[in-house]
Amino acid sequence: MRIRLAVFLALFFGVLASPTHALVTDLSNRHIEIRYSFSGADLILFGAVGATPIGAPHDPYDVVIVVRGPELPTLVRRKERVGGVWINRHVARFPSAPGYYAVATNRPLNEIAAPTVFATYGIGYENLPLVAESPRGLVAPDPNFRKALYRLRSEEGLYRQGLDTVNLISEGLFRTDVHLPANVPIGEFQVDTFLFQQGSLKARNRINLTVGKEGFERTAYTFAHSYPFFYGITAVFVALCAGWLAGVIGRK
Kindly state whether residues 224 and 182 are assigned to the same domain.
Answer: no
Kindly state whether residues 116 and 138 are assigned to the same domain.
Answer: yes
Pairing of strands 200-213, 31-34: parallel
Q: Which of 146, 135, 163, 171 is CA-nearest to residue 12?
A: 171
Q: Is the pLDDT of residue 68 over 50?
A: yes
Kindly state whether residues 129 and 33 are assigned to the same domain.
Answer: yes
Kindly state whether residues 149 and 236 are assigned to the same domain.
Answer: no
Q: Which of 198, 24, 23 is CA-nearest to residue 117?
A: 198
Over residues 38-63, the pLDDT tens digits come to 888 999 999 998 765 444 455 688 99
Kindly state whether residues 88 and 144 are assigned to the same domain.
Answer: yes
Write the CATH number for 143: 2.60.40.3880
Task: Name the pTM for this structure.
Answer: 0.76
Q: Is the pLDDT of residue 228 over 80?
A: no
Overall domain count for the chain: 2
Kindly state whether residues 221 and 177 are assigned to the same domain.
Answer: no
What is the SS3 assignment for 125-192?
HHHCCCCEEECCEEECCCHHHHHHHHHHHHHCCCEEEEEEECEEEECCEEEEEEEECCCCCCEEEEEE
Q: What is the rounded CA–CA span in Å between residue 126 and residue 134?
A: 21
Q: Is the pLDDT of residue 214 over 80?
A: no
Kindly state whether residues 245 and 136 are assigned to the same domain.
Answer: no
Using alpha carbons only, give the angle 106, 43, 45 rounded to the nearest 5 degrees. Answer: 45
Give the pLDDT confidence score for residue 35 in this predicted structure. Answer: 79
Give the pLDDT confidence score for residue 221 in this predicted structure. Answer: 52
Kindly state whether residues 199 and 220 are assigned to the same domain.
Answer: no
Kindly state whether residues 87 and 152 are assigned to the same domain.
Answer: yes
Backbone angles phi, psi at 69, to 5 degrees: 135, 170
Kindly state whether residues 165 and 180 are assigned to the same domain.
Answer: yes
Over residues 128-183, the pLDDT tens digits come to 999 999 888 889 999 999 999 999 999 999 999 988 899 998 778 899 999 999 99
Give the pLDDT confidence score for residue 235 in this predicted structure. Answer: 67
Kindly state whether residues 85 and 67 are assigned to the same domain.
Answer: yes
Q: Say what angle helices 215-226 and 228-251 make with each other, to 10 degrees.
A: 120
Classify 56 as helix, strand or coil.
coil
165-193 as b/e: b if 16+ CB within 10 A: ebebeeebebbbebbbeeebbbeebebbb
Kindly state whether residues 56 and 96 are assigned to the same domain.
Answer: yes
Residue 100: give the domain boundaries. Answer: 2-213
Give the pLDDT confidence score for residue 51 in this predicted structure. Answer: 60
Average pLDDT of the residues of the chain: 81
